[in-house]
C-alpha cells in the first residue's frame, strides 16, 4: 500500500519551491493515500493537522529544506500512529526468570502458527533457550495435533492434556511441569472463536488469572482490515494485551489494520507475520516501518542530524559562556526553558561529545518542574540582581533582598530556598560542563 504515499512524498521531495499551495497539495496527497490504504479517517485527519501545525511552528535547521522537513514530519506522524516506541525488544528480551507468554485471538487469525514462529525466532536469538509449547486450545483435537506437529518442526516440546480435558487443567499441569523441568519460556496457545463471545472471554480471563503471563500477545489477521482494530479493542477491554501480532501481511495489500490499530485499541503491533513459513515472523518497529512505507530514510536521518546539530551548537554556546562569564540568573532561566523545551537535561548533555556518557543523569536535578517557580522568582529581581548572583550570597543585604523577592513573587520560603539551591548546583554543573565542552582537562570525570 506504500506505493501511493511513496509517490506523493517523492513528488514533494523533488519540488524546488514549497509554497503554501504546494504544501496544501502535498498534505492532501498524503491524506488521500492513507485513506486509500484503508486507514481510519479520523486518525488520518489528526495526523495531517499535526503535520500542518508543526510545519508552521518548527524551526528548520540550517542545511535542511522545507520539503525535507515536511517528509520528516510525515514520518514522525506515521511512527506515532503505528505505535511510537515499539515493544518487540522487551518481549524478545532474555528472561530473568521463567517467562510466560499467552497467545490470544480469533479462530484462524494465526495463533498456533505464530507460536511456532515465535519459538523459532526466540531460538535464533537465544539458541539455548528451553521452550515449552502448551496446548490450551483443547476444544478441537486437530488444534492439539497441529501444535504438536509445529512443535516438532521447531524442536520444542509440547505439553497437551488428554482428550477432553479442559484448558485450565492443562495449564495447571503444564505450569507445574515447566517449573520442574526448568523451562525458560512457556508459550500458551488458546482457543479462538469465529466471533468474540462471552464464553471465550471468560475462558481467557481465567487462563490469564491462572497463568499470570508476563505478556499476552493478541494475534490479528491483517486481511480483516480495520475490523482487526475493533477486535483488538474488545480483547483489550477483557485481558491485559501487551502487544499485537499482525499476521498475513504478505497477503494484505493495503495495510489499514496496521494504521488504525493503535489509536483505536491502544494495542501496538510488536510482530508481523509475513509468510506461511515458520520463519515468517518479524519484529515490528514503528519507526522503521514508517521509514519503509515512505522510502525516504536518507532525508529523515539528514533532518535528524541537522536538528541535533542545532541543539549541540546551542549547548556548546552556553557552555562557552559558562566558562567565560559567570552564570547569571538570566542564564539560569534560559537554561531552564531550554531544558524543558528539549525534554530533559540528560538528553541535552548526551549531545555533547565525550561528556554525555560521563554524566550520571540522576545527579542532575529535575529542572523542568522548577521552571515556573524560577520564572516568578527571577522576574521579581532587579536587573542588577539578575546579573549578579553573588549579591545574594555575600552581601549583608541579601536577607532583605530575598525577603523582598519572596513577597514579590508570592512564593514560599521553601520554594525560595530550593530555588537558590538548584541555582547553585546548576552553576557548578555548568562550570564543569563548560570545562569539558571546551576541552579543558580533568573535570569531566569528576561530574
Residues contributing to the site for Mg ion (CB under 5 A)? 111-112, 143
Interface stretch with ligand GDP, choices 23-31, 88-96, 243-251, 384-392 (CB under 6 A): 243-251
Closest C-alpha to 409, from 385, 384, 382, 376: 376
Distance CA 289, CA 291 (A): 5
Closest approach, Cβ 353 to Mg ion, in A, equals 52
**Interacting partner of 346 out of ligand GDP, Mg ion, none (Cβ under 5 to 8 A depending on kind):** none
Using rule CB under 6 A, residue 107 touches ligand GDP: yes
Please report how close the Cβ of residue 222 comes to ligand GDP at its closest, in angstroms. Answer: 8
Q: Closest separation between CB of residue 280 and ligand GDP, Å?
A: 5
- Complex with Mg ion: residue 191 or 444, whichever CB lies closer: 191
Closest CA to 60 of 70, 51, 52: 70
312 binds ligand GDP (CB under 6 A): no
109 contact, one of Mg ion, ligand GDP, none, CB 5-8 Å limit per kind: ligand GDP
Residue length, the chain?
Answer: 447
3-state SS, 113-170, equals HHHHHHHHHHHHHCCCCCEEEEEECCCCHHHHHHHHHHHHHCCCEEECCCCCCCHHHH
Question: Which residues in 58-119 belong to E strands, given as ranges?
Answer: 99-104
280 binds ligand GDP (CB under 6 A): yes
Least CB distance from residue 138 to ligand GDP, whole Å? Answer: 13
Closest approach, Cβ 77 to Mg ion, in A, equals 36
Q: What DSSP character marks residue 245?
A: E
Task: Based on the shown chain and the rule CB under 6 A, indicate whether residue 113 belongs to the binding site for ligand GDP.
Answer: yes
Whether the CB-CB separation of 69 and 55 falls below 8 Å is answered with yes
Q: C-alpha distances in angstroms, 293 versus 4, 188, 201, 362?
A: 10, 33, 35, 38
CB of 221 to ligand GDP, least distance (A): 8
Q: Are 297 and 265 in contact (CB under 8 A)?
A: no
352: CB partners within 8 A, 6+ apart: 312, 315, 316, 319, 433, 436, 437
Closest approach of Mg ion to the CB of residue 108, in Å? 8
Only segment of 45-53, 231-239, 248-256, 302-310 that touches ligand GDP (CB under 6 A): 248-256
Work out whether 411 is an interface residue with ligand GDP (CB under 6 A): no
Q: What is the 3-state secondary structure (H, E, C) of 252-321?
A: CCCCHHHHHHHHHHCCCEEEEECCCCCCCEEECCHHHHHHHHHCCHHHHHHHHHHHHHHHHHHHHHHHHH
- Whose CA is closest to 402, among 326, 327, 322, 329? 329
Q: Is 434 among the residues that bind ligand GDP (CB under 6 A)?
A: no
Q: 109 vs 265, which CB is nearer to ligand GDP?
A: 109
Residue 109 Cβ vs Mg ion, minimum distance, rounded to whole Å: 9
Residue 184 found at the interface with ligand GDP (CB under 6 A): no
Residue 211 CB, shortest distance to ligand GDP, in Å, is 17
Helix (H) or strand (E) holding 49: helix 41-57
* Distance from C-alpha of 38 to C-alpha of 5, rounded to nearest angstrom: 13
- The residue within the footprint of ligand GDP, chosen from 75, 112, 138, 335 (CB under 6 A), is 112
Rank residues 148 and 275 by Cβ distance to ligand GDP and give the closer one: 275
| 108 is an interface residue for ligand GDP by CB under 6 A | yes
Segment interacting with ligand GDP, rule: CB under 6 A, options 8-16, 44-52, 104-112, 210-218? 104-112
Select from Mg ion, ligand GDP, none the partner in contact with residue 243, using the beta carbon and a kind-dependent cut-off of 5 to 8 Å. Answer: none
Q: Which residues here bind ligand GDP, judged by CB under 6 A?
A: 105, 107-113, 192, 219, 247-248, 250-251, 273-276, 280
Amino acid at each position: 500500500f506504500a506505493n501511493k504515499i511513496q509517490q506523493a512524498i517523492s513528488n514533494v521531495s523533488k519540488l524546488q519551491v514549497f509554497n503554501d499551495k504546494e504544501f496544501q497539495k502535498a498534505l492532501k496527497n498524503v491524506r488521500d493515500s492513507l485513506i486509500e490504504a484503508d486507514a481510519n479517517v479520523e486518525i488520518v485527519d489528526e495526523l495531517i493537522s499535526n503535520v500542518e501545525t508543526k510545519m508552521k511552528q518548527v524551526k528548520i535547521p540550517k542545511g535542511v529544506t522545507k520539503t525535507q522537513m515536511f517528509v520528516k514530519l510525515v514520518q514522525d506522524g506515521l511512527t506515532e500512529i503505528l505505535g511510537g516506541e515499539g515493544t518487540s525488544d522487551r518481549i524478545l528480551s532474555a528472561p530473568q526468570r521463567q517467562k510466560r507468554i499467552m497467545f490470544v485471538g480469533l479462530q484462524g487469525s494465526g495463533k498456533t502458527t505464530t507460536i511456532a514462529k515465535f519459538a523459532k525466532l526466540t531460538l535464533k536469538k537465544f539458541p539455548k533457550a528451553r521452550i515449552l509449547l502448551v496446548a490450551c486450545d483443547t476444544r478441537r483435537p486437530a488444534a492439539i495435533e497441529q501444535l504438536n506437529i509445529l512443535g516438532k518442526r521447531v524442536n520444542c516440546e509440547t505439553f497437551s492434556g488428554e482428550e477432553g480435558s479442559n484448558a485450565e487443567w492443562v495449564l495447571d499441569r503444564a505450569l507445574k511441569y515447566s517449573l520442574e523441568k526448568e523451562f525458560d519460556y512457556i508459550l500458551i496457545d488458546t482457543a479462538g472463536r469465529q466471533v468474540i463471545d462471552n464464553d471465550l472471554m471468560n475462558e481467557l480471563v481465567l487462563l490469564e488469572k491462572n497463568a499470570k503471563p508476563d505478556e499476552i500477545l493478541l494475534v490479528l489477521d491483517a486481511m480483516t482490515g480495520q475490523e482487526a482494530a475493533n477486535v483488538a479493542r474488545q480483547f483489550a477491554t477483557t485481558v491485559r494485551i501487551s502487544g499485537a501480532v499482525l499476521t498475513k501481511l504478505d497477503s494484505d495489500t493495503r495495510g489499514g489494520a496496521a494504521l488504525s490499530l493503535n489509536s483505536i485499541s491502544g494495542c501496538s503491533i510488536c510482530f508481523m507475520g509475513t509468510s506461511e513459513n515458520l520463519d515468517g515472523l518479524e519484529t515490528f518497529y514503528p519507526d522503521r516501518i514508517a521509514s519503509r512505507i515512505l522510502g525516504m530514510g536518507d532525508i529523515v536521518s539528514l533532518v535528524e542530524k541537522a536538528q541535533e546539530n542545532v541543539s549541540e551548537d546551542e549547548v556548546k554556546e552556553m557552555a562557552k559562556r559558562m566558562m567565560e562569564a559567570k552564570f547569571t540568573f538570566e542564564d539560569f532561566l534560559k537554561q531552564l526553558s531550554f531544558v524543558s523545551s528539549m525534554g530533559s537535561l540528560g538528553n541535552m548533555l548526551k549531545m555533547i561529545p565525550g561528556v554525555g556518557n560521563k554524566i550520571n543523569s540522576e545527579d542532575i536535578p529535575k529542572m523542568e518542574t522548577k521552571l515556573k517557580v524560577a520564572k516568578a522568582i527571577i522576574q521579581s529581581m532587579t536587573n542588577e540582581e539578575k546579573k549578579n548572583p553573588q549579591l545574594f550570597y555575600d552581601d549583608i543585604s541579601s536577607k532583605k533582598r530575598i525577603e523582598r523577592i519572596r513577597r514579590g513573587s508570592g512564593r514560599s520560603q521553601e520554594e525560595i530556598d530550593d530555588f537558590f539551591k538548584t541555582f547553585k548546583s546548576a552553576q557548578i554543573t555548568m562550570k564543569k560542563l563548560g570545562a569539558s565542552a571546551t576541552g579543558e582537562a580533568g573535570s569531566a570525570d569528576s561530574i
